[in-house]
Amino acid sequence: MSDETRGKLRRTTTVGELRLAVAAARSEGKSVGLVPTMGALHQGHLSLVEASVAQCGFTVVTIFVNPAQFGPDEDLARYPCTLEADLDALARCGADVAFVPAAEEIYPAGHATGVELGGVAEPLEGQHRAGHFAGVATVVLKLFNMAGADVAYFGRKDYQQMQVVKQMVADLNVPITICECPTVREPDGLAMSSRNKYLAGDARQRALVLWKSLCLARRAVAQGQRDGETILRQMREVIRSAEGAVIDYAALVDPETLAGVARVEQPTLAVLAVKIDETRLIDNCLLEPPLE
C-alpha cells in the first residue's frame, strides 16, 4: 500500500501536524486514544490499537525508536524497522494517525530535561538496564504532551514499564488514563515481541523455556506450593535446560509494588529476563493461589 491507499490513516511527522489532527477530531467530539510504539509491529501492538479503535473515536499510534532508552551495549543500531508494513497494518486496524517523527522532532538540539524515577522503576529491569526507564518515561511523557490523548494503551508483556508509566502519571498528575492490555502469545506460548525477529535457527524453539517455566510456576502454585525459593529453583532449572539460555533475573514480586515476595499467598507476579544467545527476552505471568 502507499499513503494514498491506506484509507483514512494519516502519516504525520511533526508535533504541529499531530496537534492539528487531534484538535480536528476533538472538534467533532471524538475521544482520543494513544498507542506508543517503536514500530516493528506485531499482533501484540495491534491488539492495543484494536482496543483503542474500539474504545476511542480517534486513535493515534506513534512509531519512534527512542535512543534514550537504549544502553550503549544494547540493540539500538539493529532494532528492526518495518515502517511500510507497520503503516499497512495500522490502516487495516482502523488507526487514524501514525506519528512517525525524526529524532530531532523529539529531541531538538539542546534538549536537556528528563523524568527522574524511583519506586517501581528501581528493581528488576531498573537493576539490569541503567537509565532505561528514565528514557522510557521521558519519551512517554513527551508523547502524552504532544498527542493530548484521553487514554494510552500499554501491554502487560512489559509489565514493569506499564507500572512505571502508571506511577509517573499518578505522581505528576498527568491527565491521561492508562489502559492495561493482556500479553499476546504465539500459539506455542512465546510472548510476542519485536525482538523475537532476532531469534535465528533453533533459538526460537529454545526461547520457549520462558513460557514453560512460567507455566511450571503456575502449576506449582495450583498444586499448593507456596515457597518462593522452591518455585524459583524449579523455574531456573527449566530455563537452564535450554542451551545458550542465561538468566538476568527470575523473581516473584508483588504486582503493584514489584517488591520481592518470599511466599505466594496472594496474587504474585512471576517475572523473567533471559538471554537466548544474544537476544534478551522478558516475560511474566500472574500466579494466583486459590482462595482457601
Distance CA 24, CA 15 (A): 14
Q: Which of 36, 101, 123, 228 binds ligand PAF (CB under 6 A)?
A: 36
In angstroms, give the least distance from the CB of 8 to ligand PAF.
Answer: 23
Say if residues 9 and 87 touch (Cβ distance below 8 Å).
yes
Q: Which of 66, 160, 193, 196 binds ligand PAF (CB under 6 A)?
A: 66
In angstroms, give the least distance from the CB of 143 to ligand PAF.
Answer: 8
| Residue 119 phi, psi dihedral angles, 5° rounding | 55, -125
199 binds ligand PAF (CB under 6 A): no
86 binds ligand PAF (CB under 6 A): no
In sequence order, the 6+-apart residues with CB closer than 8 A to the CB of 24 are none
Count of residues of this chain found to bind ligand PAF when the rule CB under 6 A is applied: 10
5 CB-contact burial (10 Å; exposed 0-12 / middle 13-18 / buried 19+):
exposed
Q: Please name which of 210, 199, 116, 204 lies closest in space to residue 164, comparing C-alpha atoms.
A: 116
In angstroms, give the least distance from the CB of 27 to ligand PAF.
Answer: 28
Per the annotation, the verdict on 45 as an active-site residue is yes
Catalytic residue among 45, 111, 128, 132: 45
Minimum CB distance to ligand PAF smaller for 37 or for 196? 37
106 binds ligand PAF (CB under 6 A): no
Question: Which region among 31-39, 241-249, 267-275, 280-288 touches ligand PAF (by CB under 6 A)?
Answer: 31-39
In angstroms, give the least distance from the CB of 98 to ligand PAF.
Answer: 13
Q: Which of 9, 38, 184, 274 binds ligand PAF (CB under 6 A)?
A: 38
Amino acid letter at 33? G
| 211 three-class SS | helix
In angstroms, give the least distance from the CB of 164 to ligand PAF.
Answer: 10
95 binds ligand PAF (CB under 6 A): no
Say if residues 120 and 162 touch (Cβ distance below 8 Å).
no
Question: Which region among 34-42, 109-117, 202-210, 267-275 touches ligand PAF (by CB under 6 A)?
Answer: 34-42
Q: Please name which of 98, 80, 100, 79 lies closest in space to residue 88, comparing C-alpha atoms.
A: 98
In angstroms, give the least distance from the CB of 191 to ligand PAF.
Answer: 13
Q: Angle 153-154-156 (CA atoms, 0-180°, nearest 5)?
A: 140
Diameter of the chain by CA atoms? Answer: 59
In sequence order, the 6+-apart residues with CB closer than 8 A to the CB of 108 are none
Minimum CB distance to ligand PAF smaller for 154 or for 211? 154
Question: Which region among 47-55, 132-140, 180-188, 217-225 touches ligand PAF (by CB under 6 A)?
Answer: 132-140
**Residues in 135-194 at the binding interface with ligand PAF, rule: CB under 6 A:** 136, 139-140, 158, 161
91 binds ligand PAF (CB under 6 A): no
Q: Please name which of 239, 195, 216 lies closest in space to residue 287, comparing C-alpha atoms.
A: 216
In sequence order, the 6+-apart residues with CB closer than 8 A to the CB of 175 are none
Binding site for ligand PAF (CB under 6 A): 36-38, 66, 69, 136, 139-140, 158, 161
Catalytic residue ranges: 45
